[in-house]
Amino acid sequence: MRPVSSWGRLSRDPHRTLALHEPRAVARALREAQPGVAFGMGRSYGDACLNPGGFLWLTRGLDHLVAFDRQSGVLTCEPGMLLRDIQRLAIADGWLLPVTPGTQLITVGGAIANDVHGKNHHRVGSFGDHVRRLWLARTDGEIIECGPDLAADWFAATVGGIGLTGLIVRAELQLRRVPGPWLRTQTIPYGTLDEFFTLADASEESWEHTVSWIDCLARGGRGLFMRGNHADVEGARAPSGRARRIPLVPPVSLVNGLSLRPFNEMYFRLNSRQSGPRITHYEPFFYPLDNLHDWNRMYGPRGFYQYQSVVPRPVGRDAVAAMLAEIGRSGEGSFLAVLKTFGERHSVGMLGFPCPGVTLALDFPNKGASTLALLDRLDAIVGEAGGRLYLAKDTRMPRALFEAGYPRWQEFNAYRDPGISSGMSRRLLGA
């Protein structure tokens, strides 16, 4: 038994960990180490990748590239391969993954099991839209091969299925052509939520990647809108890639009422001054925090909550405004606040998060009861708006909000593997 945390560092419960390295040994491991659940890079913030008191099947060792067709961009790999390694391999031949989240330090298995989204959801949907085949190992030894056109019900259960339908042991992905590693990008300051929506609407047609940072403590909803398109650029200098690390866990959160307001102010002013067009390498544009290792330590020993919702577009402006007003009143909140519009596409997954609407993601240092009370108030706004919370970020949502937000949860239950259980499955699905 050893203590394991996920990215939010809210708990350190003991787990029995089993490192998987050899695909042929997987069937026996799954049969003998139950109940368990897959653990990739643990970049989920809550309990989707945790199983307190039970087994974690560590998949990072299953990281072989099986095949890569440089003509068609079809790549087959084991589930522990990192998105970063796929990107760095494929870019040399003019390919990238069509969808990546705000970090590339995650595994292919984790990307599928949460059906992760990126800054281009309005154009290309989410990760599962680009998976051609999956091989799923069940704890009874069966291997299920599935895809959008083969055993499509198993595919829909497994994409976004938070690891509960079996262990993904192999995946075949379709990469997308890019002219090179560069993007033409723009940063545009905005002063109100209405300006944000105007910018988002105006950008979706002609910009592939859009996202915004929002100052969650400023009245009105000011922020910085970022957009980018892949570009054919020669002679630009690649970033050094030098990484830094938060060396230790400070005794208290560095993100607090004293630091946050001036920090947001400074960030907004600095970036507003430097706004305008640029040429940017894909790594700093898509994954701005990946070179600051262990940044989650800055929230101190009590960890932090991440709260990500999506609410339908027609009520999106008012719901986001109501959430920001609650946060402003509470004085809690964080620097890492992201607002983005999704396109008109639903996740292929029964429990997939992405759907048409507007999504707001925020970090909150864990201050105990006052933070939980604030999150309850945000739940009420999301529930009223007919929205849902992202399972990859969650550790506390009430079951009623889950069931309302994910109406296919009962259908999903039929595909669960009885040898798999997680903290999240026990909390939200009862087993």
Ligand X SMILES: Cc1cc2nc3c(=O)[nH]c(=O)nc-3n(C[C@H](O)[C@H](O)[C@H](O)COP(=O)(O)OP(=O)(O)OC[C@H]3O[C@@H](n4cnc5c(N)ncnc54)[C@H](O)[C@@H]3O)c2cc1C
Which parts of this chain interact with ligand X (CB under 6 A)? Answer: 7, 37-44, 48-49, 59, 79, 101-103, 106-107, 109-111, 113-114, 116-117, 162-163, 167-168, 289, 392
Smallest distance from ligand X to CB 319, Å: 20
> At its nearest, how many Å lie between ligand X and the CB of residue 48?
4
The nearest distance, CB 51 to ligand X, in angstroms, is: 9
The contacts of residue 342 (CB under 8 Å, 6+ apart) are 117, 121, 122, 310, 354, 355, 356, 357, 358, 359
Amino acid identity of 148? P
20: CB partners within 8 A, 6+ apart: 26, 29, 57, 58, 59, 61, 62, 80
Residue among 138 and 330 whose Cβ is closer to ligand X: 138
| Comparison of 51 and 330: residue with beta carbon closer to ligand X | 51
In Å, how far are 47, 124, 321 from 406, measured between CA atoms?
17, 22, 23
CB of 377 to ligand X, least distance (A): 24
Q: And the tokens for 190?
A: 């905005």
Query: Based on CB atoms, which residue is closest to ligand X, 79 or 349?
Result: 79
Is the CB of residue 188 less than 8 Å from the CB of residue 219? no
Q: Which residues, 6+ apart, have CB-to-CB distance to 425 below 8 Å? A: 37, 162, 164, 416, 431
Q: What is the smallest separation between the CB atom of 151 and ligand X, expressed in angstroms?
A: 16
| CA torsion angle 405 410 415 416 (round to 10) | 80
- Residue 102 in 3-state DSSP? coil
Q: How far is the CB of 244 from ligand X (least distance, A)?
A: 15
Q: Which is nearer to ligand X, 111 or 175 (CB)?
A: 111
Q: Quick one: 322 or 355, whose CB is closer to ligand X?
A: 355
The CB-of-44 to ligand X minimum distance in angstroms stands at: 3
Burial category of 34 from C-beta neighbours within 10 Å (exposed 0-12, middle 13-18, buried 19 and up): middle
What secondary structure does DSSP assign to 317-353, as a single string?
HHHHHHHHHHHHHHT---S-EEEEEE-S---SSTT--
The encoded tokens of residue 418 equal 């009885």
Whichever of 163 and 316 has its CB closer to ligand X, that residue is 163
Q: Whole-number minimum distance, CB 390 to ligand X, in Å? A: 7
Closer CB to ligand X, residue 39 or residue 55?
A: 39
118: Cβ–Cβ under 8 A, 6 or more apart, which residues? 99, 100, 101, 102, 126, 209, 286
Residue 220 or 239 with smaller CB distance to ligand X: 239
> What angle is formed at CA 405 by the lines to CA 196 and CA 324, rounded to 5 degrees?
35
